[in-house]
Amino acid sequence: MQQWSFRYSHESVLKIALLLTFAALAACSHPQPQSAPQQLLFVTLPETHAVAVFTSGSSGDAKPLMTIQETAPDTPVDAGASMRGEIFVGNSNGTINVYAGRNHDYQRVRTIAGPNTQLIHPVSMAVDASGNIYVADVGAAPGAAKVIWLSAALNGNVMAARTLSGPHTGLTSPTGIAVDASEEVFVADHDSGKILVFDSDARGDTSPVATLDGFKGPQRVFVDQDLNIYVSCDGDSSVIVLAADGPRVWTRTATITSTAMRSPDGVAVDTTGRVAAAVHGAVLYFAAGANGPSTPVLELQGPAPMNPTALLIH
């Protein structure tokens, strides 16, 4: 009796071991999906001629993962990224430097500059997924403001693909630019207090297809994948949120203010819905759905001096 019982237990153990082995092999043949990569925050710092790169959501005096260092007279005013992972740095002196790399090691691969580009004094830049570049440029004199389109993957003194300027455009003092997935262009026009929306093929002296007004000193504009619009305003130290209500129709849903937020500049939103705003000395994060007087949920001071203009979360 004891011998039979022992043999039965031994065979059972062998069967269980075989079943566990098959289960492990099956699991290996169907690998688990990997978590999404960590988003990065690119902070444009004109006074140090640099773009500092942090993990999005960094706070306190966190050190950047790396720094893209421009050389004077190149002075960064904005940054963008393509789906290929290239980083674009727009400079106020009329150059755009393009960097490529991996593991936070970016090297300059292209420079776009020269009279054919029509870049004079860029103040803001956006880049679409394909790498096409959209620039808000105030020009060399009052009344010379324009929007410039530059095609992807070009280098050197290239011709602008098209430009937008003239009295019908409503452009007076552009300070921010954004582009949505359909390549419609959104321009923050500071002195007129408006967001001007242009069709994807607009050119010349063309009127906007939509105009949003009532902003007090709109500084920068950000458009998310759901076509919600975020506008930083230095006139009343606020970030305005507008929700898409239909084709080219938006409704104001929130006005974020804070004693910590004076004269905000750059604005961006991360995948969790947190709203990041650039202010003198810091980047402030506000909770998703924030409205009215709000306390930042995170505050990034970084290494001094930390006086950011534009923000890019990518």
**Which pLDDT value is given to residue 300?**
97
CATH number at residue 257: 2.120.10.30
Residue 195 lies in a domain: yes
Alpha-carbon distance of 122 to 246, in angstroms, equals 32
Range(s) of the domain holding residue 72: 37-313
Residue 9 lies in a domain: no
Q: How many domains does the chain fold into?
A: 1
Residue 29 lies in a domain: no
Q: Concatenated DSSP letters for 123-176? A: EEEEE-TT--EEEEE--SSTT--EEEEE-TT--BSPPPSEEE-SGGGT-SSEEE
Q: What value does the mean pLDDT take over residues 303-310?
A: 93
pLDDT band of 186, cuts 50, 70, 90? very high
Q: Is residue 153 predicted with pLDDT exceeding 80?
A: yes
Which residue, chain included where needed, has tokens 């507008």? 242
State the pTM of this model.
0.87
Q: What value does the mean pLDDT take over residues 64-84?
A: 95
**Which pLDDT value is given to residue 28?**
47
Q: What is the mean pLDDT of the chain?
A: 90
Residue 261 lies in a domain: yes
Q: Is residue 23 predicted with pLDDT exceeding 70?
A: no
**Which pLDDT value is given to residue 299?**
98
Alpha-carbon distance of 182 to 225, in angstroms, equals 10
Per mean pLDDT, which range of 9-18, 65-74, 98-107 is the poorest?
9-18
Residue 72 lies in a domain: yes
Residue 4 lies in a domain: no
Q: Is residue 102 predicted with pLDDT exceeding 90?
A: no
Residue 8 lies in a domain: no
Q: Is residue 192 predicted with pLDDT exceeding 90?
A: yes
Q: Is residue 169 predicted with pLDDT exceeding 70?
A: yes
Residue 268 lies in a domain: yes
pLDDT band of 212, cuts 50, 70, 90? very high
